[in-house]
Structure 1
């Protein structure tokens, strides 16, 4: 079943309460959101139902839960959809990707074990894909067993999710397209709306632009469709140095921008790994942050050195005639509708009544702890850890044990932890299905906290993770590491990728994922090895650009012969031309 994006709305059916077995005896599950996470969970549930049916396992079929999914938009896809003006006034109801977005990571790491590119497209595909092709592929895969959208209430906004301890039920207050409010009750709740719900405009930078009376256009990266072709001949400043800045810098070159400047405060973002940019139209302002608008100019932006930049005497610039400023600063979690006790981590006002000295999740290492030798040891030596270490890392959240809320294990979470979000979420969806079907015996609350502590302790040996966890280490890295030493930056990026794949491998074990990354002996399987190889090749594609090709080549023009599908062994094909010259997706 192949659905095109423009056909998705017409394919949707009304929600259904039908389920195998006696509905009244089945557990009920609320799924919040029908983006990739919601779709993948519903698909994994449908696959499990099909498995039980083929085995004539009536006992298991009777235990299948009754699932209701809530989605505020008129169709599935979440942020992978383009703007969805589905309410009055034409204002988009959620955060969306811009129309022209392409993937930054190779397509081989977003191919699904049960529905390959050959299954969907009928032929090998390029290494990097446009957004809309990925969305169509995800929807077709998710609907291969049944119409999963029968379980979805579209155009329905969830106002709040709380837990009634007396009833032992989750209370979901929601409003439909007719503004009718309903309260529903569930045994379990799955948060599938991700953590990228609200565009993040850095307040301090925004205030300086307003105070300086900046006269140009200011947008977030997710709003790129608002300006489109208007970038032609313009000078553009991007705030932030990671994947959205990378993609938009390339898009703006395509669209004919005169010059693109990118501020990079700490020089950790992916744009710093590029040795060249097409037509030399991108300038990375290393160790810099926006300081304001030159008085009386309206469009001359001043930058100053970041904390590390000032120590190096770098970061001060005066950029004239900046017509457009794009905040490539990511997103804030959109978890406001969750009761404080149900959130995967604390944020914003939730910290107001939080005493870190009494916090049971706070932690510290033993006095004699020493970090294992690594790439940065020759530069930093031993860095004494902070007295109080951050209880969150890329792969551990303070209120969660893997995918469950520690205090209420019927509250589950589906959001990405890695730079390969679709694969990450798909693996996690299988784990959540196992949780919902009570196939996993969870440890005690004390054991969950201890496992988290041990994982954080292990993460403290990885420079990229300790940087997030330990403020003293972060300070030392910023002040004492010279990221202009290109080889060091590359090696550290590779080590971060390796750690990420190792964490994904652990997730496949927990989920009994049909495509395991690690064998019983603890070594990577062939799929795991290919995943690792793909990750390293992705990084190298940014810096392995021959000088003679620097005027046009991008990482999306890399040599495809080094990649092979983890599932079919098929090699991706090259693009039909230079990526920078391709007008249509």
Structure 2
């Protein structure tokens, strides 16, 4: 309980305040180790792995140059990880031994981002696969192995436990049996760093509490070791100079309570708008089917096979599960979108059987811009209506101007509504807030005017709302991964990014730059100015402004159905998307330079050749969904993962992707897992 945690912290603090450095013995005679800053790294998923990789990379380069001063500035890092090996949520459910329904990715997951946008300059896919071409979209475990092998290229003992045991080929080795890439395992060991390793990892260790002691200027980390979900030893506490949250933003399932109550009670708390003609039931009846969250993957196949399914949410999770449900032979899948701007809405076509009478494809997935407002048909159907945001009540309400739809005989409802960070171990003053949870607003300059764009002719000059939201590209109270109220607390957390792994890798270098003194934070007033300038620049991009400015969101929603901006064939639609993509890559280029990242994309204003190649990749990622044609001969089976592989090329090696071995919907149907092994 919380009082017990506080008492334990107090007891342990008193016992170690005078000798906190002795809690971290170093396996080296180097006396500079005694003065190194101590860093607690919470989590060994991709974020934690990237930070350890950045640390090892800088150590190796400084040793090569003989830079003793730079070496002395590097920190000593202890990584805390609850699982028995690295990978975080990228480890499948079957690898998680603690509990069911975790946010871990499911076993059969395929990446929804082309590998070329997740490739790293210092360990390319061409190198990883021994020169062999592989498809642009890879299974989850293939990408996880790439991430881990990249880290191991800096030294075979990078994943050694705190006890010194190297578990890199035990708990998570994929070379066993049918595992992938066995021919690549261990081949990159010649570039290892010296024996003075600057980090250790405590696997099967759960952090219970993190507190910042302002008197000692130390973070007090309370943790215990466990095995098989059982505590193995009494809680211990250690003190650190810095703390980096690398636990990700997918800690706990997020289910909108209002919608869950609707399903359980039968009627929305916003009121029932159904007329007497539309509703023939005397009283509300709770929904009788199966209710799941996207984290409940152990129950997914049984819940969708031969069933009529509703997915609530329109993001990447809903898009992926809709396709996976089709692969698992769902009878019909309905995706319900609140805003109409998620990944699921961007798909130009969904697969389905051909009607023998009409010769037309009948998609097995349909997207509706609506949310449930009432349970009907004696608990088996859902009435759904368009929603709008009421600023006065600060809630979504039913739009009476739009006719509701009824989805009949629904067997399963799955919430694809994402996750929230599980920061329970952090004291409240150390937790960050996501944008949607924040009550902070900002105001545009009085003379703000949007530059002319493809929508200007139809929307005119839209007056900004008085209170503007911060964009999803920011974290309130955090600047460049640093908590503004405590500059020793840092976060490696992706934003609403099109390229999360690259963004996290840059964040690792940014955190390390602050710890080693290579970068310094601007003054508070300068940060406020910089953030406002960033927000006003995003207000110039239509596909970013709609998230920030409710007035602009409403103006876009007034555009007619099947507007030219909904497709991809109109040059104006491509112009809007190019503006969006160029802004994102420009911001990425700026972050690279701020972080002293070893790759350069140019500046936010002018991308260099490498930056432009990445920009083209991002456009190709977006267009592969929008170009899906419901009238094509291939619409029966084609998904965005079946896109022309030759259009995806490595920006570092120029190697093009290979085609999938089969149509994506035909892969893994027998329960096996697709792998891409080297040829003998």
Superposition TM-score, scaled by structure 2 size = 0.77
For residue 145 of structure 1, what is the aligned residue in structure 2?
154
In the TM superposition, what are the counterparts of 1:66-85 in structure 2 within 5 Å? 66-83=76-93
By how many angstroms is 1:86 displaced? 5.4
Tell me the distance in 1 between the aligned counterparts of 2:217 and 2:633: 66
| TM-score with structure 1 setting the length | 0.89
Q: Tell me which of 367, 385, 389 is aligned to 1:304.
A: 385
Q: Deviations over 1:277-321 (max 9, x none)?
A: 11134343422101232152x322221222399769546222222
Q: How does 1:93-242 map to 2 (within 5 A)?
A: 94-122=102-130, 123-146=132-155, 147-150=157-160, 151-177=200-226, 178=232, 180-212=234-266, 213-228=286-301, 230-242=303-315
Q: Which has more radius of gyration?
A: 2
> Matches of 2:220 and 2:102 in 1, distance apart?
23
For residue 35 of structure 1, report the CA deviation from its aligned partner: 0.7
Q: 1:119 to 1:347 in 2, by over 3 A?
A: closer
Secondary structure of the 2:93 match is coil
Q: Greater CA deviation, 152-161 or 101-110?
A: 152-161
Return the offset for 1:22: 3.5
Counterpart CA distance in 2 for 1:242 and 1:93 is 20
Residues 1:435 and 2:519 aligned together: no
The unaligned stretches of length 5 or more in structure 1 are 1-14
Per-residue deviation, 1:77: 1.0
Matched residue count? 556
User: Aligned partners of 1:482, 1:63: CA distance in 2, in Å?
Assistant: 59
Distance in 2 (alpha carbons) for counterparts of 1:315 and 1:505: 45
Partner of 2:618: 535
CA distance in 2, matches of 1:155, 1:169: 24
The match for 1:412 among 475, 480, 490 is 490
**Which moved further from structure 2: 488-497 or 65-74?**
488-497
- Give how far 1:137 is off: 0.8
Matched, 1:514 2:598: yes
Q: Could you list the per-position Cα deviations for residues 441-482 of structure 1 after superposition, in whole angstroms to 9, with x for gaps in the alignment?
A: 32222222221122112222222332232333333333x233
Indicate if the aligned counterparts of 1:192 and 1:413 stay in contact, CA closer than 8 A: yes
Question: 2-side partners of 1:409 and 1:475: how far apart?
Answer: 38
CA distance in 2, matches of 1:385, 1:522: 25
| Closer/same/farther in 2, CA of residues 171 and 533 from structure 1, 3 Å limit | same
Q: 1:343 aligns with which of 414, 431, 442?
A: 431
Shift of 1:45: 0.3
Give the Cα–Cα distance (whole angstroms) in 2 for the partners of residues 40 and 191 of structure 1: 13
Pick which of 116-125 and 281-290 moved more. Answer: 281-290
Structure 1: distance between partners of 2:93 and 2:472: 29
Of Structure 1 and Structure 2, the greater helix share is in 1
2:631 paired with 1:571 = no
CA distance in 2, matches of 1:294, 1:488: 31
Distance 1:35 1:93 in 2: 18
Structure 2: distance between partners of 1:207 and 1:336: 25
Partner of 1:3: none
Query: CA separation of 1:110/1:180 partners in 2, compared to 1, >3 Å: closer, same or farther?
Result: same
Secondary structure of 1:571's aligned partner: coil
Question: Paired residue for 2:52?
Answer: 42
**Is the contact between residue 351 and residue 365 of structure 2 (CA under 8 Å) also seen in structure 1?**
no
Taking the aligned partners of 1:484 and 1:108, their CA distance within structure 2 comes to: 32
Q: Which structure 2 residue ranges, 5 or more long, are not aligned?
A: 1-23, 161-199, 227-231, 267-285, 353-361, 390-396, 675-680
